Amino acid sequence: MSLKLCFIGAGNLATHLATTCSKAGLEIVQVYSRTEDSAKLLADKLNTAYTTQTSSLVNYADIYFVALKDSAVEQVLSGIEFGDKLVVHCSGSLPLNVLSRFAKNHGVFYSLQTFSKNRKVDFRKIPIFIEASSEENLQILKEIANTVSESVTVLNSEKRKSLHIAAVFACNFANHCYAMAAKYLETKDLPFEILRPLIMETASKAQEMHPKQAQTGPAIRFDENIINAHLNELTEMPDLQELYNSISKSIFAHHQKKQ
Amino acid sequence: MSLKLCFIGAGNLATHLATTCSKAGLEIVQVYSRTEDSAKLLADKLNTAYTTQTSSLVNYADIYFVALKDSAVEQVLSGIEFGDKLVVHCSGSLPLNVLSRFAKNHGVFYSLQTFSKNRKVDFRKIPIFIEASSEENLQILKEIANTVSESVTVLNSEKRKSLHIAAVFACNFANHCYAMAAKYLETKDLPFEILRPLIMETASKAQEMHPKQAQTGPAIRFDENIINAHLNELTEMPDLQELYNSISKSIFAHHQKKQ
């Protein structure tokens, strides 16, 4: 493939995706970001050009990857002339057709992963979900996706949105549970580090077991002795107490129902 | 060490701990469980004797490990004559002194991990927290703990209870987030398996980063477009909708506060 890519956006996702594409031999011809620091940082990593003005976007890229937060996509794209170039967004939640008024040829390239700056991820293991306005565009995205990942699936906008909701639970909410544990331990002068093997094993179990079968702890059978003692301990942290109560009730309800 | 151990309880924890002790060269002389099936199953694994009557417990073990659910401990131990033998419970929540009326020499051996039957765990990586009624008893527990794990810490009952609460958040509640994701995906005919790399990366990030710094997703800045769209999608699953709402608010509040 001798495709030329342009990245609109230079955040966590853009950084990981663009560097992965570049290493895989795809040519990144330009990076756009509203802030010069971000644009320059990513462009330097890729050894390519950058701009902070959409009016200065190159017109010779084959594909424009839009890796912006959802709420910025329409605003940033307004006024750009894409002609018949392929414009692709990377969002879990936005439907394919948000792009139809900007470009005839459009698509979606959603990487199901949590990206943080300065943390390497192995893109080959990241499931990628693609969708496009035509079979031809879909083939182009499939080729790019197969270049960077072992797991590529065609998925429509409706299912991708569902997947994104599930990902919020499995990733963002699970991580918040870690964060609440850390917050509580801090008040008790205990280090968060001691929970790390437990966190790793909990995730490892979910690689092989269904999480319902893997569930342990006092909430499954609503062990009131332990639960009430814990709620009592959390009196001075009402936010944690409320979460403890509502999640415990949800666990119990989930294990009461026949599966 | 030529210590003789007796296990009171034959559930997940007892099974993992007893087999680990046995492989490490400690002698398990008997297993007790209320149900014959459980008692026999574990005793056979250990190639040792079993009983379903506390009145038939051997009197020549050096240490009696009580690995029962919290609510059963006092009831099962009532009426057993332990003399000056060392009696040790394995609970995160029960204080050391619940054992004082049953045995002069007593202690706690808490393994901070989630155990499921038929799933192997590497005990050497499991942090163990010990406490005992005397320095001598503590030394005995320390020796046993060091035989099976690389991470052994002396911790009092108050701090152990705090640790257990944090573990409920980091493990039980995080796993429930996976379970809710799985439940939602089922209704959309999407397989839970596609979330596994994301779950693994979320836990892996927490091995190196503080979970507050690792947090991603729409709730940090309370992206109302995405959050409201997701809540709307969850209308037919009010239990998930409620959890989504309360955890999202908690994430936002946590990231508003100065750290």
Return the pLDDT at A223. 86
Cα separation of A23 and A21, whole Å?
Answer: 6
Return the pLDDT at B118. 80
The answer to whether A86 touches A140, Cβ cutoff 8 Å, is yes
- pLDDT at residue B201 tops 50: yes
Q: What number is the average pLDDT over the span A157-169?
A: 97
Cα separation of B62 and B237, whole Å?
Answer: 54
Identity of the highest mean pLDDT range in A1-5, A254-258, B155-159? B155-159
Return the pLDDT at A79. 87
Instruction: Measure CB to CB from residue A173 to each of B162, B205, B247 and give the nearest one.
Output: B247
Cα separation of B80 and B87, whole Å?
Answer: 11
Bridge-based pairing of strands A27-32 and B27-32 is unpaired
- Model pLDDT for residues B10-56, shown as the tens digit of each residue: 999 999 999 999 999 999 999 999 999 999 999 999 999 999 999 99
> Hey, are the CB atoms on A226 and B93 less than 8 Å from each other?
yes
Task: Give the CA angle between residues A250, A217, B127 to the nearest 5°.
Answer: 140
- pLDDT at residue B206 tops 50: yes
A82-85: Cβ within 8 A, 24+ apart: A83/A59, A85/A59, A85/A61
Q: What number is the average pLDDT over the span B165-182?
A: 98
Cα separation of B34 and B14, whole Å?
Answer: 13
In chain B, positions 171-190, which contact chain A (CB-CB < 8 Å)? 171-185, 188, 190
Q: What number is the average pLDDT over the span A100-121?
A: 92
Report percent pLDDT > 70 for chain B: 98
Cα separation of A113 and A23, whole Å?
Answer: 19
- Model pLDDT for residues A43-67, shown as the tens digit of each residue: 999 999 999 999 999 999 999 999 9
Instruction: Measure CB to CB from residue A93 to each of B162, B213, B229 and give the nearest one.
Output: B229
The CATH label, of 3.40.50.150, 3.30.2130.30, 1.10.1040.20, 3.40.50.2000, for the domain at A161-256 is 1.10.1040.20
- pLDDT at residue A259 tops 60: no
- Residue B107's beta-bridge partner residues? B88, B132
> Hey, are the CB atoms on A215 and B180 less than 8 Å from each other?
no
Cα separation of A71 and B42, whole Å?
Answer: 57
Nearest Cα of chain A lies from the Cα of B194 at a distance, in angstroms, of 7
What is the four-CA torsion angle of B11, B7, B23, B124, rounded to 10 degrees?
Answer: 70
Closest residue in A to B194 (Cα) is A127
Q: How sure is the predictor about A131, in pLDDT bands with cuts at 50, 70 and 90? A: very high
Residue at B207: amino acid letter? Q
Instruction: Measure CB to CB from residue B197 to each of A127, A169, A198 and give the nearest one.
Output: A127
Q: How sure is the predictor about A72, in pLDDT bands with cuts at 50, 70 and 90? A: very high
What residue ranges do the domains of chain A occupy?
A: 4-155, 161-256
Cα separation of B64 and B12, whole Å?
Answer: 17
> Hey, are the CB atoms on A211 and B178 less than 8 Å from each other?
yes
- pLDDT at residue B258 tops 60: no
H/E stretch holding B259: none
Q: What number is the average pLDDT over the span B99-121?
A: 93
Return the pLDDT at B116. 84
Whether CATH 3.40.50.150 fits A4-155: no
Give the number of other Cβ atoms within 10 Å of residue B233's Cβ: 20
Candidate from A107-116, A169-178, B111-120, B147-156 with smallest mean pLDDT:
B111-120
Return the pLDDT at B223. 86
Give the number of other Cβ atoms within 10 Å of residue A38's Cβ: 19
Closest residue in A to B219 (Cα) is A172
User: Which comes out higher in pLDDT, residue B166 or B115?
Assistant: B166
Signed CA dihedral, A53, A59, A65, A71: sign only: positive
Chain B residues within an 8 Å CB radius of A157: none
> Hey, are the CB atoms on B203 and A202 less than 8 Å from each other?
yes
What is the pLDDT of chain A when averaged over all its residues?
95
Q: What number is the average pLDDT over the span A77-85?
A: 94
Return the pLDDT at A132. 98
Nearest Cα of chain B lies from the Cα of A59 at a distance, in angstroms, of 31
In chain A, positions 135-174, which contact chain B (CB-CB < 8 Å)? 151, 153, 159, 161-174
Closest CA to A28 of A54, A50, A13: A50
- Model pLDDT for residues B211-252, shown as the tens digit of each residue: 999 999 999 988 888 999 999 999 999 999 999 999 999 999
Q: Which position has the token pair 């409706």?
A: A158
ipTM: 0.92
Instruction: Determine the distance from the C-alpha atom of residue B215 to the mean position of all C-alpha atoms in its chain, rounded to a whole number.
Output: 25
Q: What number is the average pLDDT over the span A147-161?
A: 96
- pLDDT at residue B1 tops 70: no
Using a CB–CB cutoff of 8 Å, tell me whether B36 touches chain A: no
- Residue B110's beta-bridge partner residues? B129
> Hey, are the CB atoms on B178 and A169 less than 8 Å from each other?
yes
Return the pLDDT at B132. 98
Q: What number is the average pLDDT over the span A108-114?
A: 95
Cα separation of A206 and A190, whole Å?
Answer: 27
The answer to whether B18 touches B28, Cβ cutoff 8 Å, is yes
Instruction: Measure CB to CB from residue A225 to each of B71, B178, B226 and give the nearest one.
Output: B71
> Hey, are the CB atoms on A192 and B172 less than 8 Å from each other?
no
Closest residue in B to A164 (Cα) is B230
Q: What number is the average pLDDT over the span A183-200?
A: 97
Q: What number is the average pLDDT over the span B157-168?
A: 97
Return the pLDDT at B259. 44
In chain B, positions 199-258, which contact chain A (CB-CB < 8 Å)? 199-219, 223, 225-226, 229-230, 233-234, 239-240, 242-244, 246-247, 250-251, 253-254
